[in-house]
Amino acid sequence: MWPLLGIAVVVVGFAVGLNPLIVIAAAALVTGVMAGIAPLHLVAAFGKAFNQSRYVSVVWLVLPVIGLLEREGLQERARMLVARMRAATAGRLLIVYLALRQISAALGLMSLFGHAQTVRPLVAPMAEGAAEARHGRLGARARMLIRAYAASADNVGAFFGEDIFVAVGSVLLIKGFLQQSGIQVAPLTLSLWAAPTALLAFAIHGIRLWRLDAKLKRLAAEGDP
């Protein structure tokens, strides 16, 4: 039972508000030591996991670039660009992004879009710019609503789109679980059955995004502060 002390370290660390990376690393060290694993072997395990997950380092390289672009006016340029498109609205723009996110996820391109690299610096500001072009200056409630819907478009598109890709981890997990239960199912079959669910998710959330414009219009009429 001693290795379970790692769970206590996680609980205490998060309760006092420590850095999550430090808390997780400390919990892993405590669990390994309590399980009788030598410290050098623990360090080697950390290094191996980091080496096998090189995309983590890529994220850390991309984030400063995005921050620099934002400092140089990326969000303002995105707002100005979409404000010139007369047919663009916040809802329509987010529906297009939802489709792009779901299609890219279905092709296995999960890192092509995302919250950090796309939603925050581009999609949300463009949706706000489209709303400002139609309703004038936006209040705090309207801005938060647009940002929430922009984040939801990314989440729904990625979650329901990735299961269509044969080699994604969730499909392989389902196949492994069913195989342990004596049920043989090909990954391609699971992907094909995920397609109708993805289409329904797109239709349902697309309607919610389409109704966003009406919500923004109502907030503007009410004088959203």
At 181, which amino acid appears?
A: S
Q: Provide the 8-state DSSP code for 108.
A: T
Give the model's pLDDT for residue 61: 58
- Number of Cβ within 10 Å of residue 185's Cβ equals 14
Give the model's pLDDT for residue 126: 85
Give the model's pLDDT for residue 75: 64
pLDDT band for 199, please (50, 70, 90 cuts): very high
pLDDT tens-digit readout, 22-33: 888 888 888 888
Mean pLDDT of 115-133: 85
**Token digits of residue 56:** 């983590």
Identify which has the larger pLDDT, 185 or 52: 185
Query: With pLDDT > 70 as the criterion, what percentage of the chain qualifies?
Result: 83
**Token digits of residue 129:** 């710019």
Does residue 210 carry a pLDDT above 90?
yes
From the list 69, 78, 80, 158, the residue with the least C-alpha distance to 112 is: 158
Contacts of 39-43 with CB under 8 Å at 24 or more apart are none
pLDDT tens-digit readout, 60-116: 556 666 666 556 566 666 666 666 667 788 999 999 999 999 999 988 888 788 888
Q: Are 176 and 120 in contact (CB under 8 A)?
A: no
Give this prediction's pTM.
Answer: 0.65
Does residue 187 carry a pLDDT above 80?
no
pLDDT band for 58, please (50, 70, 90 cuts): low
Does residue 54 carry a pLDDT above 80?
no
Give the model's pLDDT for residue 20: 79
Q: For the chain, first and last CA: distance in Å?
A: 55
Does residue 181 carry a pLDDT above 90?
no
Mean pLDDT of 42-68: 63
Rounded-to-integer distance, Cα 170 and Cα 191, Å: 10
pLDDT tens-digit readout, 135-159: 888 888 999 999 999 999 999 999 9
Does residue 50 carry a pLDDT above 70?
no
